[in-house]
Amino acid sequence: MSTGVKRGHRDDLVDVAPAAKKARDPETAEQRVLEIIKSSGNKGVSDEDLIRACPVLTIEERVDVVNKLITSNAITLHKVKDTLRYKYKGPTTSTPGDANTEELVVFNLIRDSGRKGIWIRDVRIKSNLGLPRLKKILKSLETKKAIKAVKSVAASRKIVYMLFDLEPDSSITGGAWYSNQEFESEFIEILTKHSYKFLEAKKIKSLKKHHYTQSISEV
């Protein structure tokens, strides 16, 4: 009986081995991990989630797959509380390919802020990075032209960060009434004069038309 159990167990191993070997194939593993992350939606997955979903992968294999997906910009890395989570992103030319883990966390926070940008204090709180380290990361991302710093008209000393190729929201730049964060008083004055002339001309035209109509009716 003992021999039968051992033989059965060995047969099971023989049957499972090819499947496990295929699952550990780099291309297959990459597709599997990407599918798991993609299906998680905005929630993303943690390393623990990947371990449970892909138990046949070794630590080295899992790290290699994740790094490859990050480098190819198929997924992004986010810090949620004290846990790193991977989210599906798809290819993008904006993400710096040679960015390290901390740079990716900061980059993603800035990217998520859109055209309104994000204040350095908010980046520091959400990334849990020290200010000196964060400043170095921001400088590095600026040098790579991945992000840019923009002064806000709402506060002269407030600088927000956004993706390099984004046009700042009008709430940041002040719209047409501002140029380089300076209020365009001369432009407003010229616009006011033109508006006044336009309204005066329209008023005169209206009065002439009214006078002409009245003259016709009297005849």
Domains annotated on the chain, with CATH: 26-88 (1.10.10.10), 99-183 (1.10.10.10)
**Are the C-beta atoms of 150 and 168 separated by less than 8 Å?**
yes
Write down the pTM of the prediction: 0.45
d(CA 64, CA 24): 12
pLDDT in the model for residue 68: 85
d(CA 30, CA 173): 43
Taking the CA of residue 62 as centre, how many other CA atoms within 13 Å lie in the half-sphere pointing to its CB? Answer: 17
3-state secondary structure at position 59: helix
d(CA 51, CA 76): 18
**Are the C-beta atoms of 78 and 42 separated by less than 8 Å?**
no
Q: Give the residue carrying structure tokens 């904006």.
A: 94
How many residues can be counted in the chain?
Answer: 219
pLDDT in tens, the chain (219 residues): 444 444 444 344 444 455 555 556 777 889 899 999 999 887 889 999 999 999 999 988 998 898 888 877 688 888 777 778 898 875 444 567 777 889 989 999 998 888 889 999 999 999 999 999 999 999 999 998 899 999 887 666 788 999 888 878 877 776 555 555 555 555 556 667 667 777 877 777 777 766 656 666 655
Q: Tell me the backbone φ, ψ of residue 17, rounded to 5 degrees.
A: -50, -50
3-state secondary structure at position 82: coil
